[in-house]
Amino acid sequence: MTTKQKKWIASLAVLSVIVGITPNAYAMHIMEGYLAPRYCIAWGVLCIPFLVTGYLSINKKLKENRKNITLLAMAGAFIFVISSLKIPSVTGSCSHMTGTGLGAILFGPTAVSILGIIVLLFQAILLAHGGLTTLGANTFSMAIAGPLLSYGIFLLCKKLKVNRYVGIFLAAFLGDLFTYCVTSFQLAIAYPSAEGGVMASVGKFLGVFAPTQLPLAVLEGILTVLIMIALKTYATPELNMLKLNMEEK
């Protein structure tokens, strides 16, 4: 065997191990116990302004119409359920949607921040995905950064008169990718490389999770578009109701 062949075999082995051991690829929840206390606190504190904004906006919506409470709760349960469903896939491995893009488009990013932290807490308690100490970090990446970017892209595409479904695809796809980048960054500053520091470490975490997260982001984009098409066809009145009740004014 030449050195070149050896190198290829080594890389293939690494790749197959990475692909092989992820039979259950959830969105990237940082596990319990993975972050040192100061990072847990720092990320939690960073979430507070967004959560307060979310709380105030939800409170306002409820003052306007008390009926929104069940609507909001249903929206939260809906986000939980879509993020726990297995996406049909070729390889037999099961992956799950994050639902951040869809949630942000349907319910607006401020409501999603509060619903998101509740959903993440339930995922930690009921499904053991994520954790209590890493709740702040996970909330920041999945309930704040991802949805905000998704919603921004959705609005931008609307303004630029891009095709509606291309806009939805981009919003969901990039929102998912952004969540994954933020999580990798969060892990990297907690565990910087000996050589090259934080940036090298970001590269490592991005690389390790890429085989599951990249296809997942594309799938998420496609599925979100399909769901929005189905909603447009069958549920225009409900969509309008959501817009009326939830969207930012």
Partner 1 sequence: MHRGHEISADTYSYLSALREWNTTYKVAFSVGALVTVIAADSVGVSAVTLLFMLFLSVGVGKIPARDYFRLMKIPLAFILLGGAAITAQFGSGADSLFRTRFFLTNLYVTQSSLTLGIHVTLKAFSAVSALYLMTLSTPMGEIISVFRKIRVPVLILELMHLIYRYIFILSETNQRQKDSAGSRLGYCDLKTSFRTFSGELANLLVLSMKKAETYYDAMEARGYEGNALFWEETKPLTAGQLLYAGLYLALLLGTFCLIGRRG
Could you say which of 44, 46, 53, 87 contacts partner 1 (CB under 8 A)?
Answer: 87
Tokens of 248: 């930012």
Question: Cα separation of 55 and 64, whole Å?
Answer: 14
Residue 104, burial from CB neighbour count under 10 angstroms (0-12, 13-18, 19+): buried
Phi and psi dihedrals of 189, rounded to 5?
-70, -20
Nearer CB in complex with partner 1: 10/156: 10
Q: Which of 124, 143, 170, 217 binds partner 1 (CB under 8 A)?
A: 124
- For partner 1, the binding residues in 25-54 under the rule CB under 8 A are 25-26, 28-37, 40
CA distance 187 to 61: 36
Number of residues that bind partner 1 (CB under 8 A): 90
Closest CA to 105 of 155, 56, 71, 143: 155
State which of residues 137, 148, 205, 216 lies at the interface with partner 1 (CB under 8 A): 205
Q: Which of 158, 207, 243, 244 binds partner 1 (CB under 8 A)?
A: 207
How far, CA to CA in Å, does 51 sit from each of 57, 94, 116, 139, 144? Answer: 10, 32, 10, 10, 9
Strand order from edge to edge, sheet including 94-96: 24-25, 94-96, 86-87
Rounded-to-integer distance, Cα 143 and Cα 147, Å: 6
Name the residue nearer to partner 1 (CB basis): 11 or 156.
11
Nearer to partner 1, 164 or 204 (CB): 204
Give the phi and the psi of residue 86 in degrees, each rounded to 5.
-80, 135
Q: Which two tokens stand for residue 18?
A: 């990475």
Binding to partner 1 (CB under 8 A) within 93-122 occurs at 106, 114-115, 118-119, 121-122
Smallest distance, partner 1 to C-beta of residue 205, A: 5
Nearer to partner 1, 151 or 212 (CB): 212
Strand 94-96, strand 24-25: pairing: parallel
Among 41, 48, 241, 244, binds partner 1 (CB under 8 A): 241
Q: Which is nearer to partner 1, 33 or 158 (CB)?
A: 33
Q: What residues from 54 to 83 belong to the interface with partner 1 (CB under 8 A)?
A: 55, 58-59, 62, 66-67, 69-78, 80-82
- Is-contact 95 219, C-beta < 8 A? yes
* Least distance between partner 1 and beta carbon 192 (Å): 10
Taking residues 129 to 168 in sequence order and writing x for each that binds partner 1 by CB under 8 A, - otherwise, the string is: x-xxx-----------------------------------
Residue among 49, 64, 234, 248 that touches partner 1 (CB under 8 A): 234
Please report how close the Cβ of residue 28 comes to partner 1 at its closest, in angstroms. 8
